[in-house]
Amino acid sequence: MLGALSTPRGLRGEIKVKSFTAKPGDIATYGPLWDKKATRKYRLKVVGQTKGHVIVRIDGVNDRITAEALKGLELYAPRGALPEPEDEEFYHTDLIGLNAVLDNGAVLGKVTGLRDFGAGEFLEITGGPQGEVMVPFSLDAVPEVDIKGGRIVIRLPDELVAMPDDAAPIKVEEK
């Protein structure tokens, strides 16, 4: 996802966009953007910026009512329109679906999402013996990301894997 449409600005169809590109104003440089299902494309032209948002005009959106109807729409670009990530950089979409294994080889689950609650990104891992697990997406907690191999290695701090005295043990499948 490159951005999400927010609230309209003015009466002529301009709309605020929360841009997730490295430079917010570059959101319109990736060519037409698409809705999540890639069924409709949107051509954007950046016309200004405001705190935390880029202001755009979208082809065919010429009034406030039409702009309001688009509020919340997530905007995507085809993978081929994106630059290759630098070393140690990853697109969120590349991480989704990777197997998450502990540094001892035990299966933790699969990466199903990335969340940012304001203190940094967390990997959401589900489908393993522990159910849903949230792991900080940091070099300390995730020392290895192997996109081609389809896995990430998780190193949990001892305090996260320590069990209370009255807790039942968790069975972890070995690889």
Query: What pLDDT does residue 158 have?
Result: 65
Q: Same structural domain for residues 28 and 60?
A: yes
Write the CB contacts of 6 (distance below 8 Å, at least 6 apart in sequence). Answer: 15, 16, 17, 18, 53, 71
Domain end marker among 15, 50, 80: 80
Q: Please write the tens of the pLDDT for every residue from 36-78.
A: 999 999 999 999 999 889 999 999 999 999 999 999 999 999 8
Same domain, 73 and 101: no
Question: Is residue 155 domain-shared with residue 101, that is, in the same domain?
Answer: yes
Is pLDDT above 50 for 172?
no
Are 121 and 53 within one domain?
Answer: no
Residue 105 lies in a domain: yes
Q: How confident is the model at residue 131 (pLDDT cuts 50, 70, 90)?
A: confident
Please tell me whether residues 73 and 114 are part of one structural domain: no
Return phi, psi of residue 28, to 5°: -85, -5
* Total structural domains within the chain: 2
pLDDT in tens, 1-42: 899 999 999 999 999 999 988 889 999 998 999 999 999 999
In a domain, 11, yes or no: yes
Question: How many angstroms separate the CA atoms of 34 and 12, rounded?
Answer: 22
Among 35, 53, 80, the domain-final residue is 80
Three-state SS for 58?
strand
Range of the domain at 28: 3-80
Assess if residue 46 is contained within a domain. Answer: yes
How do residues 69-118 score in pLDDT, each as one tens digit?
999 999 999 888 888 888 888 888 889 999 999 988 888 999 999 888 87
Q: Model-level pTM?
A: 0.65
Same domain (yes/no): 63, 111: no
